[in-house]
Amino acid sequence: MSRDKDRLIIFDTTLRDGEQSPGASMTKEEKVRIAKALERMRVDVIEAGFPAASKGDFESVEAVARQVKDSVVCGLARAREDDISRAGEALKPANAGRIHTFIATSPIHMKMKLQLEPDEVLEQAVWAVKYARQFCDNVEFSPEDAGRSEPDFLCRVLEAVIDAGASTVNIPDTVGYNVPDQFGDLIRYLRERVPNADKAVFSVHCHNDLGLAVANSLAAVRAGARQVECTVNGLGERAGNASLEEIVMAVRTRQDFFDCDTHINAQEIVPTSRLVANITGFSVQPNKAIVGANAFAHESGIHQDGVLKSRETYEIMRAEDVGWKTNRMVLGKHSGRNAFRTRLQELGTVFESEEQLNEAFVRFKELADKKHEIFDDDLQALVTEANLAL
């Protein structure tokens, strides 16, 4: 995988962290379908699961590794011998595999969860990376809860795991505690202070507990991170992970600001979002950026009039570029005469006079006060009842 400074690597963890959303577990066949969709979208790395978690997860990672050819397939493993060897085993059929191993580095996790001293954690991290390298050349290391870890300890750990052979070091904000300036500063600090930083790709993995996962990830990109871990529709533990579609389109729409781009085929974004929503049963909120039903819908008269004159007045991206058929004019009580007339013209209704149009528009507003949205059938009924048009 290229290490260009203007290339942002997309690491999708829908099948691993996304599946950790309570109620979102998927069968092997469902995971393979999603993995194929991610491959079509040109995701660089697909984290297919956690092979040591269960027999089912092992088999899913193995099946994805067998069927995906163009993306790197990754398996997660704690920094333990049995986890790492299970991941190595599951990834055997992969064209290009990656083992992602992790251990927590925050004071609270080391003390309360692992009951290990910092030096013991460092030693285990180094051992895990070296052991993973026996199965696979491509090894990623994550200091779990990095967002609450002591930065100088993180520097020591990162330097040691890069020396041990990790080619990607991932900085997780595991509990979504960070805010953008702080997280960006942390990434900048680590990149400057770790002496061998340029030998590894810096990655970030942000959770959305404060609704800041995407903002934190983008702040990290500004600070030089060149891999972002994310999920389709922002699925994931608790409030979810950074959402893939938002990261990809933020960077693409504002390349002037980020100085990098992904290789994602954005036209596959909406179909993949639908597939994930259908399989998991987690529907997408209508006002969700990029993939929500209203993301490219205009209701107010002022906006509709502007968009009918030039789409760029109220659209910063084209609906077609992310996989929608088109943008959408929604007729409701805020809509204006221009959108009303345009929609009726599209439906083949032409008014004889401006007076007739005005009369129909008054009736439309009366109806719109009673209904959330006016559909084509409502419009046709309205015109027919009033016997207004040709």
- Residue 144 interaction partner, one of Zn ion, ligand KIV, none, beta carbon < 5-8 Å per kind: ligand KIV
Max CA separation in the chain (angstroms): 84
- Residue 102 interaction partner, one of ligand KIV, Zn ion, none, beta carbon < 5-8 Å per kind: ligand KIV
Buried/exposed 147-184: b ≥16 CB within 10 Å, e otherwise: bbbeeebbbbbbbbbbebbbbbbbbbbbbbbbebeebb
| 330 SS3 class | coil
Binding site for ligand KIV (CB under 6 A): 17, 76, 102, 142, 144, 172, 174, 205, 207
* In the complex, minimum distance from the CB of residue 325 to ligand KIV, in angstroms, rounded to a whole number: 35
Q: Segment 231-260, which members bind Zn ion (CB under 5 A)?
A: none
Report the residue number, 50 or 340, with the smaller CB distance to ligand KIV.
50
Give the x/- contact pattern for Zn ion in 7-46, rule: CB under 5 A.
----------x-----------------------------
Q: Are 241 and 206 in contact (CB under 8 A)?
A: yes
**Rounded Cα distance, 325 and 303, in Å:** 20
End-to-end CA distance of the chain: 62
Report the residue number, 90 or 295, with the smaller CB distance to ligand KIV.
90
Position of minimal CB gap to Zn ion: 17
Q: Are 178 and 206 in contact (CB under 8 A)?
A: yes
Q: Sign of the CA dihedral 296, 298, 302, 307?
A: positive
Q: Tell me the site size for Zn ion, rule CB under 5 A.
A: 1
Report the residue number, 210 or 293, with the smaller CB distance to Zn ion.
210
User: Annotation-wise, does 17 bind a ligand?
Assistant: yes
User: Annotation-wise, does 303 bind a ligand?
Assistant: no
- Residue 233 interaction partner, one of Zn ion, ligand KIV, none, beta carbon < 5-8 Å per kind: none
**Which parts of the chain are beta strand (E)?**
9-12, 45-49, 72-78, 97-104, 139-144, 168-173, 201-206, 227-230, 297-298, 328-329
* In the complex, minimum distance from the CB of residue 234 to Zn ion, in angstroms, rounded to a whole number: 12
Residues forming the site for Zn ion (CB under 5 A) = 17
